[in-house]
């Protein structure tokens, strides 16, 4: 292959990746994958059980979905706005053979109904978590768990915290103070 063409292709791929990351950052959080050990710990701390429904908001490369399906035998639904990561996740779940347990929705996490969720996982920015409060309060049934990596939900009291890993677990209806609302 002509070196000029190869360089042009590589620069094109790099440009798409940069634009993709910047675009998702403006929509709620830049893509920064959670370490696999953190994903396992998040789902374990949430008490994820076989057959439960796990929603991953901003599902990125699909690792939370795959771990939920394979290790915890849960049904997993990812919501991802980035078309590249959405396509990657479709390929990933097919190759790993978890398509029967995993579904990925390409769209805005604020536009999806979460009422089926037993567990919701998030690795979003603090301001995005703040905006999610009203949605989670209005859509989650009592007892559903919300697990956040690195960022908290202002005004909510977690039921479990791993300070070293920066994992915060909340239970719908418990410690969700009325004064805590989305911006």
**Tens of pLDDT, residues 83-120:** 999 999 999 999 999 999 999 999 999 999 999 999 99
Q: What is residue 114's predicted lDDT score, i.e. its pLDDT? A: 98
Q: What are phi and psi of 45, to 5 degrees?
A: -65, -30
Q: What CATH number does the domain containing 41 carry?
A: 3.40.50.150
Domain count, the chain: 1
Please check whether residue 179 lies inside any domain of the structure: no
Which of 66, 126, 74 minimizes the C-alpha distance to 98? Answer: 66
pLDDT category, 3, cuts 50, 70, 90? Answer: confident
Residue 183 belongs to a domain: no
**Could you tell me if residue 181 is inside a domain?**
no
| Residue 30 structural domain | 3-171
Q: What is the mean pLDDT of the chain?
A: 88
pLDDT at 47 over 80: yes
Q: Report the range of poorest mean pLDDT among 33-37, 68-72, 101-105.
A: 33-37
Backbone φ and ψ of 104, nearest 5°: -120, 130
């Amino acid at each position: 292959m002509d070196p000029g063409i190869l360089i042009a292709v590589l620069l094109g791929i790099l440009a798409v990746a940069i634009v993709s990351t910047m675009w998702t950052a403006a929509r709620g959080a830049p893509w920064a994958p959670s370490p696999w050990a953190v994903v396992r710990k998040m789902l374990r701390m949430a008490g994820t059980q076989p057959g439960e429904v796990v929603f991953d908001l901003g599902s990125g490369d699909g690792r939370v979905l795959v771990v939920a399906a394979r290790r915890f035998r849960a049904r997993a639904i990812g919501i991802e706005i980035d078309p590249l990561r959405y396509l990657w996740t479709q390929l990933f779940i097919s190759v790993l053979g978890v398509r029967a347990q995993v579904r990925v929705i390409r769209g805005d996490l604020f536009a999806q109904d979460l009422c089926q969720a037993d567990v919701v996982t998030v690795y979003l920015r603090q301001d995005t978590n703040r905006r999610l409060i009203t949605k989670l309060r209005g859509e989650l049934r009592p007892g559903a768990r919300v697990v956040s990596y690195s960022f908290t939900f202002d005004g909510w009291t977690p039921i479990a915290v791993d300070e070293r890993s920066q994992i915060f677990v909340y239970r719908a209806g418990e410690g969700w103070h009325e004064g805590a609302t989305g911006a």
